[in-house]
Every structure is written in structure tokens, then in C-alpha cells.
């Protein structure tokens, strides 16, 4: 939408992003460079998961992912039990459905964030998904699919209490998109004691009547 | 189900409304005036110019949503009606930016608070920026006119408990408080102003000036993004715009070229500087995008002994200006105290936390009360504001470093908010800071606030008021437009939105935008008809 970027600039902005999520301090840019370069070698972008088989993913097979990659989904499946805590149902099947639905709504929300914030989140997710940075920056040793809720919680606590603003920002980003997608969903309104729009108003308003 | 609201009827009657997503071929259109943006400024401008007999084209990047779409649901509304799907932040991510992106702009999603620009602010502008024409006396008729046009009046129904707790706390402590004027007609007192008024009671641009303009033969494109102006010598020749797909996010390959005698930019304090920068318009003193203000907001939540149900009832009805100008217009940072509505997603986004603790926080929502402080920025040399610049893809972003001067104001606001909540009988209070616990006494809260690190990210900050970036002023070396919104260097360009404010307002800005846009549009109409 602006002046055409030169090929070099474009490569720079896509693959070795100068506005990297961890631009300052602690050599973060070095790590991020590694992540992005790796992503670059495999096509410069982490592909959205698209439509995943229900068997593989425990998801609604009809849902078409627009932003989250298969790795992102594993990451969120590991983080959501720690983020949502006792708000998630205990019963195994209900719990799986609640997590899967939240992941889908996170994807829908991020689609509407638009390109600029998608790029920021892509960097954050790549950083957390890439083994070297997961271990060195997030300090989570196992792959996310093998991480326990305690390990996920410890990671969140570290980023929350860190004196490095960028980690605080990462903590807020992860918890905010998850909490909003979860508590904002009609089926979960009861968890915050919210009865929903007043029934008398719903009855009286034309937009709630079916055609 | 058939609808008989203002928009449905207008569309039925043949309004010239074009959805960018339906365009399949590039085309060119022409009018006397092209207006970019359909919010408080753009809507007002369009109605006044169209009624004067000028032909008008309105351009809106967001989409047209109206009653049929307003179903009191947070997630769909945040995704569709707000900038960047409600994920917009300042450059460093530290301040969440709540801003509308739809026909009607932020007036479609604001909480209806309708304040005149404070006299202190107008007098400061006159004195500091050579803006004699905006004195309180000169502006009074324009405020009167807009208050009538948008049905603004102090809320005459009892405040909901969320707001009444602010009143009670102020009463106990001897702080002044007032009832908020709201722009509503036949309001049902539901509490869903922020997700698109479901009853059409809110008299924002969507229910007033936009229909007024379209009734008077204006055309409106929605789902069309203004990319850049094309100059021909010292005048703008045309606006290049890109159609957006029906998701409102993805540009299509269709380009629309709009030609006009005059162009008005009213694309918000982030969007307008962005458009001027992308267009590389003359800016010899590099003023575009500078001195951007946001009324930085911090917040406190309380757990009350009684049910508050903070999701129901007119969201804002009580305010306190006790601390707004108490140190003078340009002394220590002043702040206005108000109350936000708390629905589940909003609360989950505002109250930081995770795990069982967060589940418990949210489970307490029906008893939760919140106070917010809106800090008046831009009136002191240590509050120079932020800067709007362009990302690599041409989209605008706001960098807003919070100065020590503002941090001091924000810390004082934390004290005030907690003190008010305890005075009103709160069982516990928690400040929106990553290091805050729930405190059971004012003394505990006070001691904790003493020790808070006032730093980006740790203090949770918000803004719903974006101002400045195309400042008006008599001196072209420190402003972009003159006191009538006319660009200093491009003869057929005006700016009619909150971006022309040379400082913040010290109050919710919609009426300030309406009034200045009305005044400047009336003058523009005369000029163009001459």
C-alpha cells in the first residue's frame, strides 16, 4: 500500500525483522534472527494450519484456521490449561472441547487483528515454538506438547514477573487473547456471573427475531 | 424480519451507499468534496456540506454495521467495529487503543459521554497556540448547536451502581462530582453502547449526520481504504483508494480514484496523520504525526459487598473533575475520573492474570466496580505526546512514551481511585498493575501504591481518546492546519477531526470534534459556494 519495497527491504522486513519482538536487551535479536532465518529457509512464513483432520487435532474438522499453525495450536493447547485454570471443565471430553473452541476463537480474533499485529504475534509464536528459543528465552525444556500445566504456569509467571518489559508484554498478549476468547464466549458467560443481554430486550428487538 | 430503522429505510429508499467488497472493476468518481472518514468529524462535515447543496463523497475504511448487526455480543463487535479487531496498541504494546473502525467511527462504539471542551483548555489554546477563534465565547453557539443535533443532555435516570459508587466515594471524601451528559434519545438503559447501540437510541454519527448527508444526495463508500492523495502542483488532484474484501481486512485489487475540488480528512488522530504521511504532502516543519495525545487511562477495580452488575445500565453517568484542573491548566498532570462498563471479555482483557486466580477474579464480576482516570496530556513541556509514523506496509502506528510527569499523575490517580472505592465501602481493591494484589484497607493499598514500579507494561494503560498529530495553530512552524482546519500548505485540503487538537481535551472528545467540525464545515461551505 505504500511505495514498493525493494527486494532487499522486503526480505529484510519479512525474514530478519528489524522490529523483532525481542529487539532490545539480552541478545534477543540474535535468537530471533535464528528463528526467522529458519522460517525463511522453509518459505519465509509459518503456514496456517488450514483445515485439520478431527482425528489429529481433536478440533472441529469444519473449522478452517486462518492464522494459527499446527505448532501454534500445540502451544496454545499447552498454555490454555495454565491460563484458564479452574475455569476449564474437569471432565476430559468437555475440557477438550472447551480448549479446542477457545483455540478456534483465538484464530478468528487474530484474523481480524489485521496484518501488523499478526506479524507481531507470528514472531512471538515462532519464538516460543522454535526449540532453541523455547529453551533459552521461555526456559521451557520439553516440547510444548509434552509440557505440563505446571511448566506452562511457571513460564507465564516468569514472563509476568520479569523486569524485562518485552516479556511482560508477551505475557499480556498471550493471556489477553486467551482470556478474551474464553470469557467472552457465550457458553462461558456463567463463569463470570454474566446472565447475558436482558431477556426482555432480546425479546423486544428485531435483530434477534429470525426471518 | 424487516427493519424500519433509519439506515435500513435509507438503503431501501435508494441512498447512494457502495460496499467496496462488491466492486469488481477500477473506477473514478467525482464530487465537489471528498471526505475521508465517517466518524464525528466526517459525518458532521458531510451533512453540513451536503445540506448546503455541495456534492459530497464519503469514504470509510471500515464497514457499514447497523441495528441488524448490533446483537449485544462483545466478541463479534470487538472483531468488526474496532480498529485492528480491538488489538490496536501503541508501538511498544504498552497501551491498548480502543478506537472505532466502522461507519460512524468511534461514535458508533463510544459510551455516549458528551462534554463541552473545558474553558481552561480553550483558553490555553488561545493563549499558547494563537487560536483566538476558539475561545469559550466563540465556541458556545457551536456547542449549543451540536448538543441539539445529537440530543445531548445530562442523564436523567438514576446512575447504575457501578457509577453511583464513584458518586458515593466522592461524596464521602468531599470531592466534586457531576452527572454526565449523554447523546441518546429514548435510551433503554441497557449498557451496550460499546458494542453498537442495539436500539438506535445513541445519537452518534450513524443515527444523525450520516443519514442527514445521505438524505441530501451524498454518496458513501464503505470498505474502501484511502491510500494516498495525488498532488498536482500545490493542490490535491485526487484520492487513490483500495477496496476491501467483505472480511473488512483483506484488500482486493480494485482501486477507486476520487476527484474533487476540495478534500477533507477526518480519519482520526492515527488515521489522518497516516494518510498525510503516506501521501507525502508538504510538511516543511515535519509537524505531521507529532504531538499525539491519548488521555492515558489507568484503572482500579473493587470488590463490593453488594451486587453491582457492572454490565448493565448506562455505562457512564457520573464523573469527577476534582483533580482535572486542580493544579492549574499546566501544572501537575490532572485527571478526570469516570467509570467503565464491565462485560466479560472487556473485564478479561483489562484485569491482568491467569490460572485459578484469574478464574476467581472473573467469577467476582457481578460484584466488581471499576474507576478509571483519564490523564490530561499535552499541557506541560514534560508531556510532549507521542508520534504517529508509518510501518513498512504503510499503516499508521502511534509511539507514545509515557513521561515521568505522566507517571506521577498516574500514580496519584491510583491513590485517588483506591481511596474513593474504599470510601464507598469496597471490601477489596486491586489496582490494574501487574504487581497489585487485592487490598482490604485503604492503608494497605496506599502502602502498595507507594512501592509500585511505574513502568510500561507493569501499569496497565488504555486509551479511548486519540487526539492531535495534525495540530491547528496560527504558526505553521508548529502546526499543520490553521484555526479553521485548513491545511497550511495545501490549498484544497482541510482536516476536521480530533487530530487538529493541539493538546488533549481533558474530557471525552466527541462533542469537541462535532463542534469544531460544524464550525469549520460551515465556513468551508461558504467558501466553496462563493
Using one digit for the tens of pLDDT, what is the confidence trace for B5-44? 999 999 999 999 999 999 999 999 999 999 999 999 999 9
In the predicted model, is pLDDT for residue B182 greater than 70?
Answer: yes
Judged by a CB distance cut-off of 8 A, whether residue B475 touches chain A is no
Find the mean pLDDT for residues A100-111. Answer: 97
Q: Where in chain B is CATH 3.50.50.60? A: 6-112+115-149+193-291+465-524
C-alpha distance from residue B184 to each of B112, B144, B199, B517 (Å): 7, 16, 10, 20
Q: What is the pLDDT of residue B366?
A: 98
Rounded distance between C-alpha atoms, residue A105 and residue B398, angstroms: 27
Q: Which residues pair with B223 in a beta bridge?
A: none
Who's near B287: CB < 8 A, 6+ residues apart? B470, B471, B477, B478, B479, B480
Q: Is the pLDDT of residue B383 over 90?
A: yes
- B6-112+115-149+193-291+465-524 in CATH: which number? 3.50.50.60
Q: Within chain B, which residue ranges are assigned CATH 3.30.410?
A: 154-183+297-376+403-455
Residue in B75, B188, B357 closest to A184 by CB:
B75
Q: Confidence class of residue A53 from pLDDT cuts 50, 70 and 90?
A: low
> Do the chains contact at A183 and B356, CB–CB below 8 Å?
no
Q: Is A30 exposed, middle or buried (0-12, 13-18, 19+ CB in 10 A)?
A: exposed
Share of chain B above pLDDT 70, in %: 100
Question: Is the pLDDT at A16 greater than 70, yes or no?
Answer: no
CA-nearest residue to A17 within chain B is: B392
Coil/strand/helix, residue B297: strand
Q: Which of residues 267-326 of B touch A (CB under 8 A)?
A: 278, 311-312
- Domain B154-183+297-376+403-455 annotated CATH 1.10.3470: no
What value does the mean pLDDT take over residues B337-363? 97
> Domain residue spans in chain A?
48-128+141-208
pLDDT at B149 over 80: yes
Question: Residue A179: its chain B contacts at CB < 8 A?
Answer: 348-349, 353-354, 358, 362
Supply B462's cell numbers: 488504555
Distance CA A193, CA A189 (A): 6
Of the residues B457, B458, B460, the best mutation for testing chain A's interface (the one with the most A CB atoms within 10 Å of its CB) is B457
* C-alpha–C-alpha distance, residues B280 and B278, integer Å: 5
Q: Which residue of B has its CA nearest to A105?
A: B75
Measure B256 CA to nearest chain A CA, in Å.
Answer: 14
What is residue A62's predicted lDDT score, i.e. its pLDDT?
A: 82
Q: Which residues of B touch A83 (CB under 8 A)?
A: 354-355, 358
Maximum pairwise Cα distance, chain B: 68
In the predicted model, what is the mean pLDDT of chain A? 82
Helix (H) or strand (E) holding B439: none
Size of interface A-B (CB pairs under 8 A): 193
Cβ–Cβ of B79/A109 closer than 8 Å? yes
Would you call B392 and A5 a contact, using CB atoms and an 8 Å cutoff?
yes
Q: What is the mean pLDDT of residues B512-529?
A: 98
Query: Counting Cβ atoms within 10 Å, is residue A146 exposed (0-12), middle (13-18) or buried (19+)?
Result: exposed
CB contacts of B3 in chain A (<8 Å) are 206-207
CA distance A195 to chain B (A): 10
For residues B494 and B263, give the distance between their C-alpha atoms in angstroms, rounded to a whole number. Answer: 6
Give yes or no for residue A19 having a pLDDT over 90.
no
Residue A6 reports pLDDT greater than 90: no
Tell me which residues of chain B, numbers 398 to 437, contact chain A at a CB-CB cutoff of 8 Å.
434
Whether residue A195 is predicted with pLDDT greater than 90 in this model: the reply is yes
Give mean pLDDT, residues A204-210.
Answer: 92
Cβ contacts (< 8 Å) between B460 and chain A: which residues? 172
Directed axis angle between helix A28-41 and helix A7-15, to 10°? 110
* Residue B438 predicted with pLDDT over 60: yes
Residues A36-49: pLDDT tens digits?
Answer: 445 444 444 578 88
For residue A8, pLDDT over 70 is answered with: no
Q: Is the pLDDT of residue A55 over 80?
A: no
Nearest CA in chain A to B94: A169
- The answer to whether residue B329 scores a pLDDT higher than 70 is yes
Residue A7: pLDDT over 70: no
B340 Ramachandran zone, left/alpha/beta (phi>0; psi -120 to 50)? beta
Better-scored residue on pLDDT, B337 or A3: B337
**What is the pTM for the complete model shown?**
0.94
Amino acid at each position: 500500500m505504500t511505495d514498493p519495497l525493494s527486494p532487499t527491504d522486503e526480505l529484510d522486513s519479512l525474514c530478519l525483522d528489524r522490529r523483532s519482538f525481542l529487539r532490545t536487551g539480552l541478545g534477543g535479536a540474535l535468537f530471533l534472527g535464528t528463528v526467522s532465518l529458519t522460517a525463511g529457509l522453509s518459505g519465509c512464513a509459518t503456514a496456517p494450519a488450514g483445515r485439520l483432520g478431527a482425528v489429529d487435532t481433536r478440533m472441529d474438522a469444519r473449522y478452517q484456521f486462518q492464522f494459527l499453525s499446527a505448532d501454534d495450536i500445540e502451544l496454545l493447547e499447552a498454555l490454555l490449561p495454565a491460563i484458564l485454570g479452574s475455569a476449564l471443565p474437569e471432565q476430559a471430553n468437555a475440557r477438550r472441547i472447551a480448549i479446542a473452541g477457545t483455540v478456534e476463537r483465538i484464530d478468528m480474533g487474530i484474523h481480524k487483528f489485521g496484518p501488523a499485529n499478526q506479524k507481531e504475534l507470528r514472531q512471538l509464536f515462532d519464538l516460543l515454538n522454535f526449540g532453541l528459543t523455547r529453551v533459552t528465552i521461555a526456559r521451557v525444556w520439553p516440547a510444548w506438547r509434552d509440557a505440563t500445566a505446571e511448566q506452562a504456569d511457571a513460564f507465564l509467571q516468569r514472563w509476568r514477573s520479569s523486569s524485562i518489559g518485552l516479556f511482560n508484554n508477551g505475557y499480556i498478549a498471550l493471556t489477553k487473547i486467551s482470556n478474551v476468547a474464553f470469557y467472552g464466549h457465550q457458553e462461558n458467560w456463567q463463569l463470570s456471573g454474566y446472565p447475558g443481554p436482558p431477556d426482555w430486550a432480546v425479546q423486544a428487538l428485531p435483530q434477534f427475531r429470525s426471518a | 424480519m424487516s427493519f424500519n430503522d433509519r439506515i435500513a429505510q435509507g438503503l431501501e429508499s435508494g441512498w447512494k451507499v457502495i460496499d467496496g467488497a462488491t466492486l469488481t472493476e477500477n473506477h473514478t468518481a467525482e464530487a465537489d468534496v471528498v471526505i475521508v472518514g465517517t466518524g464525528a468529524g466526517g459525518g458532521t462535515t458531510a451533512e453540513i456540506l451536503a445540506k448546503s447543496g455541495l456534492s459530497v463523497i464519503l469514504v470509510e475504511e471500515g464497514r457499514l454495521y447497523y441495528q441488524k448487526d448490533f446483537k449485544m455480543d462483545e466478541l463479534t463487535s470487538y472483531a468488526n467495529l474496532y480498529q485492528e479487531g480491538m488489538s490496536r496498541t501503541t508501538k511498544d504494546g504498552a497501551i491498548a487503543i480502543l478506537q472505532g473502525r466502522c461507519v460512524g467511527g468511534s461514535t458508533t462504539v463510544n459510551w455516549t459521554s458528551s462534554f463541552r471542551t473545558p474553558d481552561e483548555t480553550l483558553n490555553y489554546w488561545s493563549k499558547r497556540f494563537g487560536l483566538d477563534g476558539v475561545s469559550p465565547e466563540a465556541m458556545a453557539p457551536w456547542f449549543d448547536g451540536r448538543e441539539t443535533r445529537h440530543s445531548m443532555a445530562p442523564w436523567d435516570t438514576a446512575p447504575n451502581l457501578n457509577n453511583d459508587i464513584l458518586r458515593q466515594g466522592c461524596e464521602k471524601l468531599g470531592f466534586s462530582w457531576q452527572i454526565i451528559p449523554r447523546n441518546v434519545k429514548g435510551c433503554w438503559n441497557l449498557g451496550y453502547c460499546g458494542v453498537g447501540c442495539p436500539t438506535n437510541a445513541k445519537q452518534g454519527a450513524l443515527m444523525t449526520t450520516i443519514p442527514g448527508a445521505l438524505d441530501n444526495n451524498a454518496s458513501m463508500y464503505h470498505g474502501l481504504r484511502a491510500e494516498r492523495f495525488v498532488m498536482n502542483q500545490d493542490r490535491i488532484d485526487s484520492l487513490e483508494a483500495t477496496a476491501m474484501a467483505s472480511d473488512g481486512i483483506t484488500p482486493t485489487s480494485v482501486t477507486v480514484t476520487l476527484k474533487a475540488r476540495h478534500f477533507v480528512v477526518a480519519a482520526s488522530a492515527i488515521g489522518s496523520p497516516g494518510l498525510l504521511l503516506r501521501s507525502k504532502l508538504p510538511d516543511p516543519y515535519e509537524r505531521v504525526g507529532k504531538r499525539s495525545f491519548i488521555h492515558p487511562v489507568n484503572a482500579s477495580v473493587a470488590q463490593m459487598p453488594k451486587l453491582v452488575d457492572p454490565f448493565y445500565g448506562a455505562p457512564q453517568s457520573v464523573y469527577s473533575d476534582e483533580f482535572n484542573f486542580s493544579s492549574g491548566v499546566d501544572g501537575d498532570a490532572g485527571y478526570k475520573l469516570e467509570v467503565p462498563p464491565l462485560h466479560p471479555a472487556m473485564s478479561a482483557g483489562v484485569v491482568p492474570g491467569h490460572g485459578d486466580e484469574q478464574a476467581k477474579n472473573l467469577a467476582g464480576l457481578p460484584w466488581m466496580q471499576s474507576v478509571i482516570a483519564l490523564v490530561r496530556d499535552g499541557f506541560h513541556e514534560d508531556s510532549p505526546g507521542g508520534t504517529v509514523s508509518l510501518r513498512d506496509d504503510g499503516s499508521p502506528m502511534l509511539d507514545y512514551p509515557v513521561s515521568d510527569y505522566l507517571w506521577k499523575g498516574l500514580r496519584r490517580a491510583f491513590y485517588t481511585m483506591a481511596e474513593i472505592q474504599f470510601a464507598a465501602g469496597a471490601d477489596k481493591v486491586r489496582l490494574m498493575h501487574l504487581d497489585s494484589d487485592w487490598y482490604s484497607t485503604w492503608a494497605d493499598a496506599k502502602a502498595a501504591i507507594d512501592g509500585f514500579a511505574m513502568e510500561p507494561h507493569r501499569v496497565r494503560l488504555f486509551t479511548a481518546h486519540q487526539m492531535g498529530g495534525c495540530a491547528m495553530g496560527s504558526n505553521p512552524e508548529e502546526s499543520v492546519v490553521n484555526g479553521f482546519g485548513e491545511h497550511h500548505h495545501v490549498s484544497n485540503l482541510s482536516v476536521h477531526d480530533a487530530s487538529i487538537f493541539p493538546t488533549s481535551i481533558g474530557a471525552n472528545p466527541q462533542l469537541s470534534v462535532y463542534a469544531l467540525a460544524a464550525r469549520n464545515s460551515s465556513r468551508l461551505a461558504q467558501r466553496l459556494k462563493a
